[in-house]
Every structure is written in C-alpha cells, then in structure tokens.
Amino acid sequence: MTLRSLFMGLLFVFVGCNTAVEKPKKLIKRDKMIDILYDISLMEAVKSQNINGGISSQKANEFLFKKYQIDSLQWEENNKYYASDIEEYKKMYQEVKIRIEQETAKAGGTPTEGTVPKDSDVPMVK
C-alpha cells in the first residue's frame, strides 16, 4: 500500500511540474501581439470613458479578430503562451505603454494631464 501511495505521489509531482505552455500552432508574432495589446488598451480606455455610449466587449472582440485576422481560440492560446513567460509579457506591456505615451505626446498631451487643457483659454469639449 505504501509503495502504491509513493508511486501515485511521484506521478502527481511529475505531472504537476509540467506547467510549460505549448507554443500555439498558429503563433501570432510578437510584434503583432503587441499591436493587439495596444488596441485592447485603447478600446478599454474608450469603454471606461463611455465615449459615444462606449463600446461593448463583443464589438471590441469582433473588431480585433477582423483587423488581425484571428479567431477567439487563436487569441486565447497565444495570450496564454505569451503570458506564461511573465518577464517577456511585462516587456511587451512596457512597449505598449511607451507607444501610448508617444501617441499622447503627438496629440499634444502628457499621460498625466488627463482632461486638463494645456491652454486655459481653450474650452474643454465634453
């Protein structure tokens, strides 16, 4: 009985240690994945601001899948794959953050300004 319990315990340890995520068959290249994460960040910002009634998650997903010619399964597998390497995933999100900051600067703002106009003579549009 103890030999059987030991064998089962070792079997669970070996199976449990195999947490590596398999590379998806339809791998989305890193740069394209960063583009997708960037677009997701923008859509989340729109949703949180409720601009023009906001955007539903379903519409956002449809837009992303059509734009990048992927499906929900491919997205899930790739997101899981990239997220399994947390350090690399952090680097990808850092690139997204830099890109957002660059686009904000091009628009004449800074990420910390929020909704405060640069020129107090210019009225804010709501």
What pLDDT does 46 receive?
Answer: 80
DSSP 28: P
Q: Which sign, positive or negative, has the C-alpha torsion 96, 101, 105, 110?
A: positive
Backbone φ and ψ for 74, nearest 5 degrees, come out as -60, -40
Q: What is this structure's pTM?
A: 0.69
The pLDDT > 70 percentage for the chain reads 68
- pLDDT, one tens digit per residue, over 56-85 is 888 888 999 999 999 999 999 999 999 999
